[in-house]
Amino acid sequence: MNEVRRVGVVGGGLMGSGIAEVNARAGKDVIVVESSGSAVAAARRRLETSLKRAESRGKVEAADVVLGKIRVVEDLALLADRDIVIEAIVEDERAKTDLFRQLDEIVDSPEAVLASNTSSIPIMKLAVATKRPTHVLGVHFFNPVPVLNLVELVPSLMTDEAITERVRAFVQDDLGKTAIDCQDRAGFVVNSLLIPFILSAIRMFESGFATAEDIDQGLVLGAAHPQGPLALADLIGLDTVKAVAESLYEEFKEPLYAAPPLLARMVDAGLLGRKSGRGFHLYD
């Protein structure tokens, strides 16, 4: 079984930086690729802030040592020697398939794995953009990556079983996460259950049935949820919630997956939740 030593991550946002962090904590040599100089700087700041916080809480011994294992760059070509590359860019099918086509040309080793952190897009659509569909699968982490232990493994119909098992060992033995197996269908396990729940809460708020505060408090205090569905939507990002809902609706055509009009309007207005300072709740 090929050991994973060199890890590439494409995208240095909340998910990508979190994936890079857990890999660096596990001693991996990590390269993060971003799209511009400003995005590179933002990703570095995000990593520094997260690791300094982890150090202050005793989660890592030396933040600077972990940071030293991560390079944040603009050049995709620097991923040529990676054992696995994990895509964590915008939840857009065309952008992801274009990226996988590029990675297939760049990554040298035919045994290297090309993985996607997509939360909803079928893996087969990404695999067929490459000449190595047997080495493509979904590796879906959850936000915040350093805290949440679940990873969904999503092989397509073409993924080699040995590749799935190699990645399972990497996720569980190296990164200390728990992996669950999912069929290659939009939404996988968690989002197929979670997104209709969130959309139902949005429709309840949209109809005036209850306030955002009461909906969230009701689920926290009445159902022992750690946070309410609207606060969770804000944490995920309303643009991501909308993108996942659209992917689910495209595949299954079931009304429970249809994005409510209010969600679309909020995304159009840039009210994306925590990352924009305002969603269903206000944030500093």
Mean pLDDT of the region 36-59: 95
Q: Extract the runs of DSSP E, i.e. beta strands, from 174-255.
A: 178-181
Beta-carbon contacts of residue 101 (< 8 Å; ≥ 6 apart): 129, 130
How far is residue 80's CA from residue 104's CA, in Å, rounded to a whole number? 10
Is residue 2 predicted with pLDDT exceeding 90? no
Is residue 120 predicted with pLDDT exceeding 90? no
The parent domain of residue 217 ranges over 191-275
The residues that are catalytic are 119, 140, 152, 191
pLDDT for 284 equals 86
Beta-carbon contacts of residue 228 (< 8 Å; ≥ 6 apart): 201, 215, 216, 217, 218, 219, 220
Mean pLDDT of the region 183-210: 96
Structure tokens at 261: 């009009």
Q: What is the CA radius of gyration of the chain?
A: 19
Is residue 20 predicted with pLDDT exceeding 90? yes
Is residue 1 predicted with pLDDT exceeding 80? no
pLDDT per residue as tens digits for the range 140-164:
999 899 999 999 999 999 999 999 9
Considering the domain boundaries, does residue 284 fall inside one? no
Same domain, 125 and 227: no
How far is residue 235's CA from residue 144's CA, in Å, rounded to a whole number? 9
Mean pLDDT of the region 154-183: 97
pLDDT per residue as tens digits for the range 222-269:
999 999 999 999 999 999 999 999 999 999 999 999 999 999 999 999
Same domain, 59 and 104: yes
pLDDT for 224 equals 97
For the chain, what percent of residues have pLDDT higher than 90?
94
Mean pLDDT (the chain) is: 96
Question: Which of 125, 156, 181 is the last residue before a domain boundary?
Answer: 181
Same domain, 206 and 97: no
Considering the domain boundaries, does residue 35 fall inside one? yes
How far is residue 42's CA from residue 12's CA, in Å, rounded to a whole number? 8
pLDDT per residue as tens digits for the range 75-94:
999 999 999 999 999 989 99
Same domain, 76 and 128: yes
pLDDT for 119 equals 85
Same domain, 203 and 152: no
Considering the domain boundaries, does residue 11 fall inside one? yes
Beta-carbon contacts of residue 187 (< 8 Å; ≥ 6 apart): 119, 120, 195, 244, 247, 248, 251
Q: How many residues does the chain have?
A: 284
Same domain, 164 and 216: no
Give every strand in the sheet of 113-116, ordered side by side.
Answer: 70-73, 29-33, 6-10, 84-87, 113-116, 136-141, 150-155, 178-181
Same domain, 30 and 79: yes
CATH number of the structural domain spanning residue 210: 1.10.1040.10
> How many domains is the chain built from?
2
Q: Are the beta carbons of 86 and 9 closer than 8 angstroms?
A: yes
Pairing of strands 178-181, 6-10: unpaired
How far is residue 221's CA from residue 215's CA, in Å, rounded to a whole number? 10
